[in-house]
């Protein structure tokens, strides 16, 4: 290990220790401190070692031990959290009609907002005159084209029925081990089915009901305690993740595709505004107070680029700060990690389709083109993985369905991390918006069935 790398790691360790001295601050304040330190340290590495990429790579490899290790811990608790929360949600609602009303409303909001996001993506791509014919394919992107086409080839060949069939669990053990891209939604389905089975047993054998409720409550308490332990590590995880991201980013790649980056962020910002308008109109939420409540969650989603890894923070924010009943929060966060992702499954594939359309002889402003695109995006938004690369998966579902090539997805690979951060934050905000709106629309279904402690914020 070279002397510059050792010096960098010494500074990295000192900054980690500095974050530990901020224990008196709130978690949100420490997260922001970690974000700021990561930006500053990563930018310093990028400037100082611009001519020594090996030093940056060696330094970020060690930073990844903290950052990726933290994300790994979050991913570790996703499956048990989702499974236990689904069981608790179904048991607390008790009535199948109430469960169907809540789940149906959440899914309708997620898919509906994704359709709005697709329209925004179409409008912004046209406003910025984005055109895939203006992109130049370099050696790096050419290699990525081959790799991505191979990785996602299966999705391009799936029909809509086949795609929906992917959600049904055929091997519980495999899905509990996240062996498929659609494992999270499969675990949700397993949890709901187990919940229905438990309700049937409680109805047919009432003497077992109290024991079953205690068992599920105990499992929930243990999993939530584990979640709190991992969440406490967030400031250090975000510091390491941002350091690695900023230090290894290529300014040349970003500048070359600056128009697409700018257009993407404008579209994402507009969709955030749509969320705030919906929350204000239909749930009476003050936008400033809402953003203050969810800011730590959005910061983590932005840093980790994983909707699935953000599920624990998502649920906690909904229940503790947004006063969303726990059953609704569980369903909204879990569904939102794999259904109707506004950024990855809505805006991104819509913008790519508009960019490709002129080269295929299609009018990107044509009503038929837009209607077909939005419809395909709505269907394709089911089951998109809530991890880094989910947007690429969505593109490989939507573009072939439109009869378009997928090469452009690889041409943009060099700037993916930069845009994917904001897209992930939008995805997570969409799931929290769905939770709040569902509480406003069908909250009485929960209030009639759930005990008081699952409704009041903790």
In this structure, what CATH number is given to the domain that contains residue 306? 1.10.3860.10
Q: Which two tokens stand for residue 260?
A: 């697409």
pLDDT of residue 321: 93
- Are 109 and 437 within 8 A, CB to CB? yes
pLDDT of residue 252: 61
Q: Which two tokens stand for residue 395?
A: 């593109």
Q: Looking at 205-233, list the stretches that DSSP marks H as alpha helix, in order from N- to C-terminal side.
A: 209-231
Q: Give the domain extent around 376.
A: 3-454
**In this structure, is the dihedral angle defined by the CA atoms of residues 205, 207, 210 and 212, taken in order, positive or negative?**
negative
CA atoms of 391 and 352, how far apart (whole Å): 11
Per-residue pLDDT of the chain (458 residues; tens, 9 = 90+): 688 889 999 999 999 999 999 878 877 788 888 888 988 998 898 888 888 888 888 998 888 888 888 878 877 877 887 788 778 777 776 665 677 888 889 999 999 999 999 999 999 999 998 887 655 444 344 445 555 555 555 555 556 566 667 667 777 877 777 666 667 677 778 888 888 888 888 888 988 888 888 888 898 888 878 878 888 888 898 888 888 878 876 666 556 567 888 999 999 999 999 999 999 999 999 999 999 999 989 988 887 778 877 888 898 899 999 999 988 898 898 888 878 889 988 999 999 999 988 888 889 999 999 999 999 898 878 756 555 556 777 787 788 778 887 767 666 765 677 788 899 999 999 999 999 999 999 876 565 554 434 333 33
Q: Looking at 94-138, list the stretches that DSSP marks H as alpha helix, in order from N- to C-terminal side.
A: 96-127
Number of neighbours of residue 109 by Cβ within 10 angstroms: 25
| Three-state SS at 382 | strand
Residues 387-392: contacts with CB under 8 Å, at least 24 apart: 387/305, 387/306, 387/307, 387/308, 387/309, 388/305, 388/306, 388/417, 388/420, 390/307, 390/341, 390/344, 390/345, 391/343, 391/344, 391/345, 391/348, 391/349, 391/416, 391/420, 391/423, 392/148, 392/152, 392/416
- Are 264 and 419 within 8 A, CB to CB? yes
| Three-state SS at 129 | coil
Q: What are phi and psi of 339, to 5 degrees?
A: -130, 135
For tokens 């000192």, name the residue.
Answer: 14
Which residue in 273, 293, 282, 275 sits closest to 443, CA to CA? 282
Number of domains in the chain: 1
- Are 332 and 324 within 8 A, CB to CB? yes
> Which H or E run includes 346?
none
DSSP-assigned letter for residue 358: G
DSSP 240-294: HHHHHHHHH--HHHHHHTHHHHHHHHHHHHHHHHHHHHHHHHHH---HHHHHHHH
| Three-state SS at 339 | strand
Beta bridge partners of 382: 339
| Three-state SS at 182 | coil
pLDDT of residue 391: 76
> Which H or E run includes 40?
helix 27-48
Q: What are phi and psi of 117, to 5 degrees?
A: -60, -40
CA atoms of 71 and 294, how far apart (whole Å): 19
pLDDT of residue 458: 33
Number of alpha helices (DSSP H) and beta strands (DSSP E) in the chain: 21, 0
Q: Which two tokens stand for residue 81?
A: 């959290």
- Give the relative orientation of helices 3-20 and 53-93 as an angle to the nearest 10 degrees: 30
Q: Which two tokens stand for residue 374?
A: 């939005």
- Are 383 and 163 within 8 A, CB to CB? yes
Which residue in 309, 308, 240, 303 sits closest to 67, CA to CA? 240
- Give the relative orientation of helices 183-204 and 209-231 as an angle to the nearest 10 degrees: 150
CA atoms of 180 and 175, how far apart (whole Å): 7
CA atoms of 363 and 298, how far apart (whole Å): 36
CA atoms of 242 and 30, how far apart (whole Å): 14
pLDDT of residue 457: 34
- Are 310 and 82 within 8 A, CB to CB? no
pLDDT of residue 63: 86
Which residue in 327, 294, 334 sits closest to 188, CA to CA? 334
Number of residues assigned to the chain: 458
| Three-state SS at 96 | helix
């Amino acid at each position: 290990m070279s002397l510059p790398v050792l010096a960098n790691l010494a500074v990295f360790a000192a900054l980690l220790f500095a974050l530990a001295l901020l224990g008196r601050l709130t978690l949100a304040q420490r997260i922001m401190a970690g974000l700021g330190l990561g930006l500053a340290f990563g930018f310093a590495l990028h400037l100082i070692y611009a001519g020594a990429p090996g030093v940056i790579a060696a330094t970020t490899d060690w930073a990844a031990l903290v950052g990726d290790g933290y994300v790994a811990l979050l991913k570790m608790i996703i499956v048990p959290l989702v499974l236990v929360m689904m069981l608790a949600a179904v048991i607390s609602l008790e009535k199948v009609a109430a469960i169907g009303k809540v789940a149906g409303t959440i899914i309708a909001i997620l898919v509906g907002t994704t359709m709005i996001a697709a329209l925004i993506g179409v409008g912004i791509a046209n406003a910025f005159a984005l055109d895939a014919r203006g992109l130049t394919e370099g050696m790096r992107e050419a290699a990525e084209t081959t790799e991505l086409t191979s990785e996602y080839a299966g999705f391009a060949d799936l029909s809509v029925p086949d795609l929906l069939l992917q959600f049904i669990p055929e091997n519980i053990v495999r899905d509990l081990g996240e062996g498929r891209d659609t494992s999270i939604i499969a675990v949700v389905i397993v949890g709901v089915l187990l919940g229905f089975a438990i309700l049937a047993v409680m109805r047919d054998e009432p003497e077992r009901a109290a024991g079953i409720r205690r068992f599920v409550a105990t499992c929930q308490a243990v999993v939530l305690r584990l979640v709190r332990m991992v969440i406490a590590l967030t400031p250090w995880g975000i510091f390491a993740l941002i350091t690695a991201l900023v230090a290894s980013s290529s300014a040349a790649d970003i500048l070359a595709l600056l128009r697409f980056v700018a257009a993407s962020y404008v579209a994402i910002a507009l969709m955030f505004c749509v969320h705030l308008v919906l929350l204000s109109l239909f749930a009476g939420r003050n936008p400033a107070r809402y953003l203050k409540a969810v800011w730590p969650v959005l910061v983590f989603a932005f840093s980790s680029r994983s909707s699935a890894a953000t599920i624990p923070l998502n649920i906690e924010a909904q229940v503790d700060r947004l006063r969303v009943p726990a059953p609704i929060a569980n369903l909204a966060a879990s569904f939102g990690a794999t259904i109707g992702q506004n950024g990855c499954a809505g805006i991104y594939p819509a913008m790519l389709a508009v960019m490709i359309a002129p080269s295929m002889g299609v009018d990107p402003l044509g009503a038929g083109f837009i209607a077909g695109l939005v419809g395909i995006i709505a269907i394709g938004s089911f089951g998109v993985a809530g991890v880094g690369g989910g947007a690429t998966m969505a593109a490989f579902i939507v573009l072939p369905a439109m009869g378009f090539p997928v090469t452009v997805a690889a041409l943009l690979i060099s700037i993916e991390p930069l845009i994917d951060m904001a897209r992930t934050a939008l995805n997570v905000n969409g799931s929290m918006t769905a939770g709040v709106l569902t509480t406003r629309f069908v909250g009485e279904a929960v209030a009639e069935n759930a005990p008081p402690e699952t409704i009041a914020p903790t």
